[in-house]
Amino acid sequence: MSTLNILHFPDNKLRQKGKDIEVFDSKLSKIANDMLETMYLSKGIGLAAVQVGIAIRMIVIDVSETRNDPVILINPVITDKADEIIFEEGCLSVPGFYEKVERFNKIKYSYKDLHGKSKESNADGLLAVCIQHEIDHLDGKLFVDYISEIKRDRISKKLQKLGSEGNIPDRKKVPYSI
């Protein structure tokens, strides 16, 4: 396994749209495993391939307390949604910043697994919000796109400055949570 480099807002590569996956081979499994390793190391609950500069429609998620319930979703599609909620979100590509976003509390979704088998499932709460957030990444969309332009620009400028100084907030390196 190897860890991947996470892109940070406002990197233009985060605006790439992921391509539908048609080949289910060991190369794809390796990317999924590397994404999971990267997500766990970064203390994240979700990571999309677009965030590591790979423009394909794959996301990995683990919202369990024990951090041992990995979920891999390929070509995920939300087929039904209900009950709006406001959720305070963060993102591995926008480290250190959290904002309220309107989402759905209940979703039905379809996807393919690593064998290319079609599946369908329901989710609510944190998992439902996380799937919506990660599918947005596959469409080049970030949670900061839902907040005011003023706030978004402020976050963009702060992250650009921190990036240029090599000081991006990183929970891998600090014992406290950011």
Find, among 24, 128, 18, the residue nearest to 84 by Cα: 128
Which of Co ion, ligand QAP, none lies near 42, with the C-beta cut-off 5 to 8 A by kind? ligand QAP
Given candidates 36, 59, 129, 138, which one binds ligand QAP under the rule CB under 6 A?
Answer: 129
Given candidates 8, 57, 112, 133, which one binds ligand QAP under the rule CB under 6 A?
Answer: 133
Cβ of residue 16: shortest distance to ligand QAP, in angstroms? Answer: 18
Which of Co ion, ligand QAP, none lies near 130, with the C-beta cut-off 5 to 8 A by kind? ligand QAP
- Dihedral sign (CA 40, 124, 74, 71): positive
As given in the structure block, the two tokens for residue 79 are 């087929």
Residue 12, classed as helix, strand or coil, is: helix
The residue (of 77 and 178) whose beta carbon lies closer to ligand QAP is 178
The residue (of 46 and 76) whose beta carbon lies closer to ligand QAP is 46
Given candidates 45, 58, 142, 155, which one binds ligand QAP under the rule CB under 6 A?
Answer: 45
Given candidates 28, 50, 91, 107, which one binds Co ion under the rule CB under 5 A?
Answer: 91
Alpha helices in 89-175 (DSSP H): 125-138, 149-164
Cβ of residue 75: shortest distance to ligand QAP, in angstroms? Answer: 19
176 Cβ contact partners less than 8 Å away, ≥ 6 residues apart: none
Q: Which of 22, 88, 89, 134 is catalytic?
A: 134
Strands 71-89 and 58-61: antiparallel
Q: For residues 47 and 166, what is the distance between their CA atoms, to the nearest angstrom?
A: 22
Residue 83, classed as helix, strand or coil, is: strand
Q: Active-site residues: which are they?
A: 134
Q: Which residues here bind Co ion, judged by CB under 5 A? A: 91
